[in-house]
Structure 1
């Protein structure tokens, strides 16, 4: 069993080293983590799922939406969606 975990660790390390070497001459290239964060830019969250994404209870999320109607949102076919990146930015500015 220990050899299995050792093999998995070596494979993962090899992937990240190879990814780093691939971009060695191009320091402006995006890393794996940058690509994952870029996906958040266009992700929309349904109103019922806000609580999960911001880490509060459903009741607190409903109260937040009610208290702050200026939260960045989009309405598509009567369903309210919140852009994930803009919601994070709005929350960080709310605390200031």
Structure 2
């Protein structure tokens, strides 16, 4: 029984030291928090197509607002395949940043 108590006194501090090292190492990368936002703006998905019914998810607005936006701005980059309307993710992102925000400021 004493043997196990001695091991506990060695393993517990060792586990605390290892945990401290791992947490400290993780915090080094936390200082570069801009990289998290860069990952969200990853250009690898630029060629993905979004269904017209899912545009509101991408933009972050209600379905009714998305329909209104699409109706008000028919020049939003889109393509029609077999009667279904799709929006290229990259071009839609660019349109939202540049064209839509610019036109919104003009109003």
Would the TM-score normalized by the shorter structure come out above 0.5?
yes
Q: Determine the C-alpha separation between the residues in 2 that align with 1:45 and 1:88.
A: 11
C-alpha deviations, 1:16-69, integer Å up to 9, x for none?
9xxxxxxxxxxxxxxxx49x8232111000000000000000000000001110
TM-score, length of structure 2 as denominator length: 0.56
Query: What's 1:85 paired with?
Result: 90
User: Following the alignment from structure 2 to structure 1, what is the Cα–Cα distance between the partners of residues 96 and 43?
Assistant: 19
Is 2:72 the partner of 1:67? Answer: yes
**Which residue among 41, 53, 66 is the counterpart of 2:58?**
53
- Aligned residue among 22, 31, 38 for 2:43: 38
What root-mean-square deviation, in Å, do the aligned CA atoms of Structure 1 and Structure 2 show? Answer: 2.7
Cα distance in structure 2, aligned partners of 1:56 and 1:38? 22
Runs of 4+ in 1 over 2 A off after TM superposition: none
Question: Unaligned 5+ residue runs, structure 2?
Answer: 1-14, 30-38, 103-107
- What does residue 95 of structure 1 align with? 101
CA distance in 2, matches of 1:49, 1:67: 18
- Equivalences, count: 72
Give structure 1 stretches of 5+ with no counterpart: 17-32
Counterpart of 1:70 in 2: which secondary structure? coil
